[in-house]
């Protein structure tokens, strides 16, 4: 049976209680605490600050009459497990990761958004929840809502499979680290994943998708492209971040309206 939080019980990592969440069933989970306020206010100009504890800064907004939490997870899979486990105990059932990413395909440009339907499990945290041959998959209806929202808003996007890593440098076959060393098993991995049709590198999807599937929850992911690895190893300038952020904020708001309105699609 699910282990829901008792009245007044404070979650150890996030600092939240059930009473603080207003019965929220939905949560947007960016990695960066600095992204939370802007995202919450893009959903609802009257969004309010809830609390901040460790990596986890929380705001809450109203979308179509429903409370939606916006809470940072910090970077990487382990922090995602803290967020999902504790929010699930507080009643959250649907999670959408909202963040930034680096593309590895020619047709995925700076400022575009990526909607990931699955992830390659190059992380470590998901292995604590399921064996390595268990798939990391997003929820179909959450993914379809994100796609439909992007189409309606005419935001350039691509749906694909991300590679989730625990390391920004050797894990993503980057050579611009302090030592510039990449272990033998990861050399050539970028080109291999590109040939397999994977779309982007990031650090949270595999853990989020695996954990929510195992726990009987739902998850999706939308990220703005701020690095295009086919052109350069450099991260894009600030104006690209602003464009990507504006786009994923608009898309996720419309997708939330669809999901809360019991979005249906013919399959």
Sequence spans of domains, the chain: 18-260
What does the angle CA 226 – CA 171 – CA 156 come to, to the nearest 5 degrees?
A: 25
Q: Are strands 66-71 and 94-103 parallel, antiparallel or unpaired?
A: unpaired
Q: Please name which of 262, 267, 233 lies closest in space to residue 25, comparing C-alpha atoms.
A: 262
> For the whole model, what pTM was predicted?
0.96
59, exposed or middle or buried, with CB in 10 Å at 0-12, 13-18, 19+? buried
Catalogue the active-site residues. Answer: 13, 86, 174, 229
Question: What one-character DSSP code corresponds to residue 51?
Answer: E
3-class SS of residue 140:
helix
CATH architecture of 18-260: 3-Layer(aba) Sandwich (3.40)
Residues 60-118: tens digit of each pLDDT: 999 999 999 999 999 999 999 999 999 999 999 999 999 999 999 999 999 999 999 99
Q: Are strands 113-122 and 218-228 parallel, antiparallel or unpaired?
A: antiparallel
3-class SS of residue 123:
coil
Residues 36-48: tens digit of each pLDDT: 999 999 999 999 9
């Amino acid at each position: 049976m699910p282990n829901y939080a008792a009245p007044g019980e404070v979650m150890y990592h996030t600092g939240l209680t059930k009473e603080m969440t207003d019965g929220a069933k939905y949560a947007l989970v960016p990695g960066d605490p600095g992204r939370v306020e802007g995202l919450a206010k893009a959903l609802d100009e009257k969004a309010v600050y809830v609390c901040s504890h460790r990596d986890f800064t929380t705001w809450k907004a109203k979308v179509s009459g429903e409370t939606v939490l916006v809470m940072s997870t910090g970077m990487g899979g382990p922090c995602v497990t803290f967020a999902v486990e504790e929010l699930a105990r507080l009643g959250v059932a649907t999670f959408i990761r909202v963040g930034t990413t680096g593309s590895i395909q020619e047709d995925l440009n700076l400022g575009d958004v990526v909607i990931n339907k699955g992830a390659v499990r190059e992380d470590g945290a998901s292995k604590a929840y399921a064996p390595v041959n268990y798939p990391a998959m997003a929820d179909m209806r959450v993914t379809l809502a994100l796609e439909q929202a992007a189409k309606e808003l005419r935001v350039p996007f691509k749906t694909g499979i991300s590679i989730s890593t625990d390391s920004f440098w050797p894990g993503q076959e980057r050579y611009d680290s302090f030592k510039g060393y990449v272990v033998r098993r990861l050399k050539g991995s970028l080109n291999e994943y590109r040939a397999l049709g994977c779309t982007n590198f990031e650090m949270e999807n595999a853990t989020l998708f695996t954990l929510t599937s195992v726990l009987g929850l739902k998850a999706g992911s939308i990220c703005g492209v701020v690095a295009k690895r086919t052109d350069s190893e450099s991260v894009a300038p600030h104006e690209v971040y602003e464009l990507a952020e504006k786009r994923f904020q608009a898309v996720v708001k419309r997708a939330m309206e669809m999901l809360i309105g019991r979005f249906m699609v013919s399959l």
